[in-house]
Structure 1
Amino acid sequence: MSWREPDRLLSRTWYMTPPRGPSLSPRVLGVESFFLLLRLLLHTAADACCLSRTFVPSAAANARPSRFMVMVASGNSKTSLYSLPYDLLYQIVSDLDYTDYIHLSRTNRTLYSLLQNELLAKRSIEKSVREAKEAQQAFAGKISFREAIGRIYDNKQAVASANPYAVAVLAYASTFLYQDGVLSYYCANEIRILNVHQAAHTEQVLDVRNVFRRIIPAFREDEAQNVSVQLSFLYYSAGVLAILAEIGDTNAWLILLDVTPHGPACNRGRLKFLRQLECTRRLFVRHNGSHLFYGVYSTVGLSSDPQWSVQWVDLARNNDELATEPILLDRFAGTDIGQNVCFEIFDNHLYAVTSALDSDEEQLHRESFYEWTCISPASRVRRAKIRRIFRRLHTEGPINDTWSEMSLRLDEATGRPMITECRREWLQGRTDNVRTYYTEPLMRPSELSTAMAEDDSATNTREAEQPTPRDTPLISAASSRYPLITGGAGPSNITVAEFASAACRKTPDGDVVRPDKYKHTEYADSSVPKRDFILARTKYRAYNPSAAAFVDLINDPEPSTSVGVVQDRLRLRICSRKRKQPKEVEDPQSKRQKQSETSESEEQQYVSNGVKLWPADDADQDVLDLLCPAKRASNVHGAADERTLVYSVDIDTDEPHQQAIILVGFDPRIRLPCMRSRKRKLGDLLIDTKDRPMDIDLPRLEDIIDSSKVSVEGSQHNLPRPRSVRTEDAMHLSINRGYWFDRGQSCTNNIA
């Protein structure tokens, strides 16, 4: 039924029994106006034949409270859907995600006031973003649930629309690490820690050599002999920084230090873990402050083939001795971390995923798989159990591996670990390759324990039927489409379930169908104009799942008509998408049949917002100079999360290898004192000349070995030694270079 049908339909009176619980679903609805809520009510009524505007309790309601009479008021009566009974409004609003919640609150002042309700806001958060950082703060009582929704919405919209709130120079340094909203960087023989998400004015400063003298044996002798020291940042989480110190050619130390402002609560000191490593090949470290997992890719024992081995350490026990033997990831292919293999810690468990398979096994199937495992703390298993999930068909087309990326993230809606992979593919034999992000949810540790118990039961049954492992063929004759791969003197540790993928399904013809919820193609809509940059000009690339946006830092040189050297220009390139509005269906019966045949996830459809570049072509030169200080985009390294992008770029200075660390902020709460306000007007950036920040002399930094490894200079022994850890003013206060862009309506600012 259309909204503009004749008024004769508005003379009917009918009864409706509201469905209970989550069955009253708005499906995929972008509530941006008052009338979209009317359409929501129409979709929930199975036998609806007219449009409701005013709800009043019927006479039958006294006997059966669940029934309401829907009476339609015509003429000049005032629309009052916001006068719904609270129970019905609660059922409707609790099925909205945070985006629809904000859109509905902006319909009018009355709905805005009603939707300040904490209980309604909590239900919306629990439905859509319960694992977001702001949601966790609300559950902990640090902020209100209504404020959390506003903050999440502001962050998402700023990213999706390519409209950051701020840019600033945070520091000048040799190398940096940005994780968990905290910036760790190396400057003048010191490690400095800045909490970016809290817009901190102070930094924790660690004197590197003073720390090494205290914790590393024989470091004083090496220092006296001017032995080279190289420092690498590995990982940061829960206030603990993991670094690798390589002293000379053969002495490598893994160090975990507590870098919180006040140190640990107990009298244990700041040193969390110290161990000398025999091998650092492909070294990775993951920890959460309580549990540490680190691993290398090397030969183990008498084996001639290198393989991944993982070691677990209980940081709470303060024991340098390793309590367990290393765990081997047998036949776990993939060596490029971040491209075809990734590791991450969730719920005290280490998840490992690879998209690479042994060449011999790839020839056995026309499918490609993810192989993954979950390692629990204090596990006594010598070899980890590897599981497989369907990835893609080889017939889908070739892959441009130079653009491939893979990581593990936490799904903000479900709390599940999730594989996120970027593939640039020539799909279905097309002449152009398109970039697509795919996601695949994994089981939680609790769910995995149940699945492993079932696998063990099935394995015992097979072993009883086939008592001689050596006679087991390479490919099992079991009825499963994807066999259990075995080899050597016994069964393999690889378990394959039949098409075990939650993100796609197979058709009877053998093709693969993936709902749009689990994939995001950059140019899914043919009407979207393309604006691509080659890999050499794409300095950093990422994907923001919260905003459903490709986020690229690209070098787009300024167009110039004069003859001379072309100046580089760093810009953001963002391509996002949004949900489509539900289509109008003339026949309610056919609509209900369609909804019953398809799942909710498959009904979600999206439309592209197009490609947006920031700053604009006519942006103020001061902003362009801040983003690319030296007019050349060289040695750019970046890191990003849901609300910020941090990158380093070379600068003009007499000292070699010095870089500026630039912040691009999408969170309106991250506002530093150095950020001077600038007004937006028709895309142009205006600023008063008296507010222009002044440049300062750059601090002298030591030379760097590569982008992630720096050398530690020697120090004069007659100088007084400062404290190992101290608090100082943040470097961005003295640099004083940054801008704040005043935007329009902000949900965060509207919350009292």
Structure 2
Amino acid sequence: MAPIDAVPFDLWHQIGSRLDPQDYIHLSMVNRTLYNLLRSDLTARNSAQSHIPYSREAKLASAGQITYRQALGRAFDVREAVATAQPYSAALVAYGDTFLLNQGVLCYLHCGDLRLLDVHGASRVEKVVTLARIKTLLSRSAHFSHAYARVDEREMQFSLMHFSDGIVTCLCEAPTRRASCLIAIDVRLDDGPTTGKLLFARRLDSTRRLFVRHDGSYLYYGTHSVLASHGHHEWIIQGMEIRNNRKLTDRPVQLENFVGSEIGPTLCFEIHDGFFYAISNQTGFQDEEVDWTSYYVCLRFPLSDPKKIEWRRIWRRQHREGPINDTWTDISLRVDETTKQLLIVECRREWHLAGSENSRTYYTQPIDCFEKEPSPEESSLASLATSTSESGHDAESSQVSPHAGLPDSFPVSALPDDILTSTLDEFSKPNYEPPKKRLKRNYHAEYPLEEISSTPRRDYILSKTKYRTYNRPASAFIDVVNDPLSRNTSFGSPSDRLRLRIGSRKRKCPIDEEGEEGEKGLLYRPEYTNEDGKPMEWSDERFQTRGIKLWPPDDAPEELYSLLCPSKRCGKVEAASDERCLVYSTQPATPGGQRPIILISFDPSIGFPHLKRLNARLSPSQNENPVDLDRHDVAANKPRKRPFSVTVSDGPAGSPTQTALRQFEEAESPDAPKPGYDVSRYWIRTEPAMYLSINRGYWLR
């Protein structure tokens, strides 16, 4: 038999073109011959365009910034780093009151300024927006004079709401006047030095559970503030065309009978591909005593016309699958890197089949329902909703759009063969649909069934789990947990210790090597068939766990643990993440201090210039002041210009993270205001990134 590397290149090209990044890189590692064969950028391009066309790596390759072979390698590195709990770097990147992370940009508030750092690009400069200028404008604006007149600008408080496509939205509040407004700021610097643009400011009648979503052209904000005739609050949404500062509807759109009040546990909102989406895992304001099926309720409408609302229901689960611990439930929307399709990702902690043990499972549901024709029940109810909207509303709904929205109940064409059906009466509104086929790739259990009741499980209660999410490309649970190191000491409780808890899985070999489901050595058989009897795509996949891992390990250097949790008590942890990094902030060490913002990166290409090797011991001089200013590349032969100082608090006096006076050097950037310009004239400017002066971060491998 000919050796495997004797196969012609044309055949390897066809094989490699059909492999995802994991299989492609693993195959290239078999031997040197295969490595050289699979270095072909043509083969790598076919693989990338088939499996990760909408990933950051593929976009960089398409733009010519990296090769497609490098794109596959980077995607593999990021996914493996997440799945094996081996991040590439960790750094204290900033101090701030609050932050948000989106599209690879970190936005945070620091000492009255809004600062933006391109994390994915490891930028050396930050955009800085002077919020004091905006406060002055708002306080003097005739449009807001009735709300903000005679209000001390120092009483105005800003909260970050959303960032996307170079636009930041903030909520500005004046508590003493009970006034608030939503502002949108364009922070792009495409034309060089600029004063920035305040795109619009809108006074809000209510901020109850306010959310904002936008892209570069349209903005939607909503509140859970309208009391409907059934006695429950409902969501109202207002759309804006950003460039023209124009409302898209005269009155806000009310999502009638759209159940769910908490963003995260029960519903989520997102803008994707020209549409606004609203997803809820609730079907009624009141629980039905006799019920069988749970659904996702999905709404969407074009960004340019919010009156054209479409809605669908997607099967979620059968209640007989077991009770749910709702305190762990979380729902969000993600974009598939392969198809660009929007996905519902939901975490549910369930007592499987009403057993004695409960565990988490992440479920993924593609939103493909709008590509299909609505069911007869949905079509008839949509017609009823339209006719109801044309007949008008009561006085309570007179201030909002007259759309009737969702029906308050759905007819059931058939009931199950269940004795409980005899208890139903004319007032019952049960939901029932036969169970759907759920592919293994669309759900990931924290533990296999055989491990649910095992002794070695190391779980953390909700109060110790500070943040939880799911990384779908890496098929990995990610938790930030507080795991204090237990030591025999009589000097009080141990200090908090933040760690990552990651549980991942991988696809099994398609060959049943152990004979688990049939004859040994044969391919796994598809689990399901379509209505036409043909095997369902992907139903032959099998997965195996890669275990639960904690990082850093117990024997990690103390410098790393003190970086991950700068103060003795972590307090409330605020966190955000994407496919390649995790950002979180902890409680400040001193009252009134700024919160340290820590970045953990799983992407080797995020290479901040100040990072040091963790295994390199700090010199005595560095140990005296760990948050040092060793910007040798800037400070060696260049005079410092126009310095200014910022006081940040990172720990008690004498500690490795003591309060210190930081000096920022002027960036040698074409976008920075030139010497002699009055910086106070600028709403937006560039400055050296704060992490350069903090100078505290490590390469971990």
Instruction: Give me the TM-score of the superposition, normalised by structure 1.
Output: 0.74
Could you tell me which of 512, 517, 526 is aligned with 1:583? 512
Could you tell me which of 209, 221, 233 is aligned with 1:294? 221
| Contact residue 417 and residue 444 of structure 1 kept, 8 A | no
Is 1:522 aligned to residue 446 of structure 2?
yes
The one-letter code sitting in structure 1 at the alignment partner of 2:22 is T
Deviation at 1:85, TM superposition (A): 4.8
The aligned runs of 1:564-643 (5 Å cut-off) are: 564-565=491-492, 566-581=494-509, 582-584=511-513, 598-643=535-580
Name the counterpart of 2:212. 285
Deviation at 1:302, TM superposition (A): 7.9
Could you tell me which of 72, 92, 101 is aligned with 1:149? 72
Deviation at 1:359, TM superposition (A): 4.4
Could you tell me which of 348, 352, 372 is aligned with 1:427? 352
The one-letter code sitting in structure 1 at the alignment partner of 2:497 is R
Residues 90-126 of structure 1 deviation map (CA, whole Å, 9 limit, x = unaligned): 3222221110000111112221122122221122123
Could you tell me which of 90, 113, 125 is aligned with 2:48? 125
The aligned runs of 1:51-70 (5 Å cut-off) are: 53-54=1-2
Residues 360 and 458 of structure 1, relative CA distance in 2, 3 Å threshold: closer
Could you tell me which of 180, 195, 202 is aligned with 2:103? 180
In structure 2, distance between residues paired with 1:530 and 1:545: 23
Name the counterpart of 1:396. 321
The aligned runs of 1:242-321 (5 Å cut-off) are: 242-248=169-175, 249-262=177-190, 270-299=197-226, 305-316=232-243, 318-321=244-247
Deviation at 1:479, TM superposition (A): 6.7
Residues 48-95 of structure 1 deviation map (CA, whole Å, 9 limit, x = unaligned): xxxxx44xxxxxxxxxxxxxxxxxxxxxxxx25354251x32322222
Name the counterpart of 1:707. none
Is 1:687 aligned to residue 617 of structure 2?
yes
Residues 254 and 133 of structure 1, relative CA distance in 2, 3 Å threshold: same
In structure 2, distance between residues paired with 1:209 and 1:537: 38
| Contact residue 526 and residue 540 of structure 2 kept, 8 A | no
Could you tell me which of 264, 270, 275 is aligned with 1:349? 275
Deviation at 1:664, TM superposition (A): 0.6
Residues 261 and 304 of structure 1, relative CA distance in 2, 3 Å threshold: same
In structure 2, distance between residues paired with 1:159 and 1:431: 31
| Contact residue 416 and residue 444 of structure 1 kept, 8 A | no
Residues 618 and 593 of structure 1, relative CA distance in 2, 3 Å threshold: closer
Is 1:646 aligned to residue 583 of structure 2?
yes
Deviation at 1:726, TM superposition (A): 1.1
Could you tell me which of 311, 336, 339 is aligned with 2:262? 336
Deviation at 1:141, TM superposition (A): 3.3
| Contact residue 588 and residue 594 of structure 2 kept, 8 A | yes
Residues 474 and 106 of structure 1, relative CA distance in 2, 3 Å threshold: closer
Name the counterpart of 2:397. none
The number of residues matched between the two structures is: 608
Aligned to 1:526, what secondary structure does the other structure show? helix
Aligned to 2:539, what secondary structure does the other structure show? helix
Residues 195 and 462 of structure 1, relative CA distance in 2, 3 Å threshold: closer
In structure 2, distance between residues paired with 1:575 and 1:518: 16
Name the counterpart of 1:736. 695
Residues 444 and 166 of structure 1, relative CA distance in 2, 3 Å threshold: farther
Could you tell me which of 206, 210, 232 is aligned with 2:159? 232
Could you tell me which of 73, 76, 96 is aligned with 2:19? 96
| Contact residue 203 and residue 727 of structure 1 kept, 8 A | yes
In structure 2, distance between residues paired with 1:592 and 1:615: 37
| Contact residue 506 and residue 545 of structure 2 kept, 8 A | yes
In structure 1, distance between residues paired with 2:350 and 2:228: 40
Residues 296-354 of structure 1 deviation map (CA, whole Å, 9 limit, x = unaligned): 112279886421122222224x2244455432211001000011010011102111101
| Contact residue 261 and residue 727 of structure 1 kept, 8 A | no
In structure 1, distance between residues paired with 2:589 and 2:384: 69
Residues 391-449 of structure 1 deviation map (CA, whole Å, 9 limit, x = unaligned): 1111211111111111011112222111001011111122121011011110286x26x
Could you tell me which of 671, 684, 691 is aligned with 1:725? 684
Residues 333 and 564 of structure 1, relative CA distance in 2, 3 Å threshold: same
Name the counterpart of 1:711. none
In structure 1, distance between residues paired with 2:228 and 2:124: 50
Name the counterpart of 1:661. 597
The one-letter code sitting in structure 2 at the alignment partner of 1:729 is P
Residues 110 and 453 of structure 1, relative CA distance in 2, 3 Å threshold: farther
| Contact residue 525 and residue 608 of structure 1 kept, 8 A | no
Residues 140 and 313 of structure 1, relative CA distance in 2, 3 Å threshold: farther
| Contact residue 100 and residue 107 of structure 2 kept, 8 A | yes
Runs of 5+ consecutive residues of structure 2 not aligned to the other structure: 392-406, 417-428, 630-644, 650-677
Residues 169 and 346 of structure 1, relative CA distance in 2, 3 Å threshold: same
Deviation at 1:361, TM superposition (A): 6.7
Name the counterpart of 1:73. none
Name the counterpart of 1:541. 468
The one-letter code sitting in structure 2 at the alignment partner of 1:695 is V
| Contact residue 93 and residue 690 of structure 2 kept, 8 A | yes
Deviation at 1:673, TM superposition (A): 2.2
Residues 208-249 of structure 1 deviation map (CA, whole Å, 9 limit, x = unaligned): 111232356157974664672121101111111110101243
Runs of 5+ consecutive residues of structure 1 not aligned to the other structure: 1-52, 55-78, 482-493, 500-504, 507-511, 680-685, 703-718, 743-752
In structure 1, distance between residues paired with 2:253 and 2:212: 14
Identity percentage of aligned residues: 37
Deviation at 1:605, TM superposition (A): 1.2
In structure 2, distance between residues paired with 1:388 and 1:473: 13
| Contact residue 172 and residue 699 of structure 1 kept, 8 A | no
Residues 176-218 of structure 1 deviation map (CA, whole Å, 9 limit, x = unaligned): 1112111111111111111111111111111111123235615
In structure 1, distance between residues paired with 2:71 and 2:306: 41
Deviation at 1:150, TM superposition (A): 1.0
Name the counterpart of 1:139. 62
Could you tell me which of 608, 629, 633 is aligned with 1:672? 608
Larger Rg over CA atoms: 1
Is 1:369 aligned to residue 306 of structure 2?
no
Residues 656 and 92 of structure 1, relative CA distance in 2, 3 Å threshold: same
Residues 674 and 430 of structure 1, relative CA distance in 2, 3 Å threshold: same
| Contact residue 480 and residue 498 of structure 2 kept, 8 A | yes
Aligned to 2:136, what secondary structure does the other structure show? helix
Residues 461 and 609 of structure 1, relative CA distance in 2, 3 Å threshold: same
Residues 454 and 239 of structure 1, relative CA distance in 2, 3 Å threshold: farther
Residues 474 and 326 of structure 1, relative CA distance in 2, 3 Å threshold: closer
Name the counterpart of 2:634. none
Aligned to 1:93, what secondary structure does the other structure show? helix
In structure 1, distance between residues paired with 2:381 and 2:100: 45
In structure 1, distance between residues paired with 2:131 and 2:306: 36
Residues 623 and 477 of structure 1, relative CA distance in 2, 3 Å threshold: closer
The aligned runs of 1:472-491 (5 Å cut-off) are: 476=411, 478=413
